Amino acid sequence: QSALTQPASVSGSPGQSITISCGGTTSDIGSYFYNFVSWYQQHPGKVPKLMIYEVNKRPSGVSNRFSGSKSGNTASLTISGLQAEDEADYYCCSFEGTTFYWVFGGGTKVTVL
């Protein structure tokens, strides 16, 4: 149950787009059978919030500036039109369907310059 790999930090200026990568394996992100990658936003001292599920679906109420994708064993979260309120920690997560567990990435701190 190894953690997914995320960059420690990503930064961008207001209005720019940024992309956070999340590296996994063929057992989780790259699974042929499952597309259960999700992304969470967490502001300091706050509860995590689901931003993306099933690789690229947005829950009701989440801005369409947030989008997700997957290629091979790597998932990505893109934030377009970066805003000050987007400054937070972001975690990717994948379900592993062979031995049944979820694995998170180590988290990426997004800084709006």
Task: Provide the binding-site residues for another protein, judged by CB under 8 A.
Answer: 1, 3, 34, 36, 38, 40, 42, 47-50, 53-54, 57, 59, 91, 93, 95, 100-107
* Type of residue at 97: G
CB of 76 to another protein, least distance (A): 16
CB of 105 to another protein, least distance (A): 7
CB of 48 to another protein, least distance (A): 6
Q: How far is CA 37 from the centre of its chain?
A: 8
- Residue 38 sits at the vertex; the CA angle it makes with 32 and 40, to the nearest 5 degrees, is 160
Closest to another protein by CB, 16 vs 50, is 50
Closest to another protein by CB, 12 vs 106, is 106
CB of 77 to another protein, least distance (A): 13
Closest to another protein by CB, 34 vs 66, is 34
Report the distance separating Cα 97 and Cα 91, nearest Å.
Answer: 19
Q: Which residues, at least 6 apart from 62, have a Cβ–Cβ distance to it below 8 Å? A: 50, 51, 52
Strand-pair category, 49-52 with 66-71: unpaired
